[in-house]
Structure 1
Amino acid sequence: MKLFGKKESVQKETGNEAVKVLGGGCANCHALEDAAKAALGELGLPQEVGHITDFAQIA
């Protein structure tokens, strides 16, 4: 058993998104995704925002 060292990543990647919105797909989730895209656009950063709706993947 390893006590120290790198932890294995449990998160499944959906792509190369820098920002990921985690939620079931409700109106608030979509509003947050739109706000994140707008904020990234104002900062001049690439607008790569992912949206994970699978609760098993979120957990």
Structure 2
Amino acid sequence: MNQAVRKEVLKQLESLFTDFCEGCFIQRQLRKEGGKRLAHRFCISQCTVGEKIKEYGKKLGNTI
């Protein structure tokens, strides 16, 4: 993956975080009730935005 594509993927990731993850009510509530670990597990395994973030992470992981 060339540098321009990598920058674009990182830009898309940042956009996802700012648009959906920052201030997420579900994440905030899960952190209060069960801590960081529960909230993180939800984001990775059940949240559709988390699924998309994992896809982008795999793309970036293939470049290293």
TM score, norm. by length of structure 1: 0.38
Higher-Rg structure is 1
More helix per residue: 1 or 2? 2
More strand per residue: 1 or 2? 1
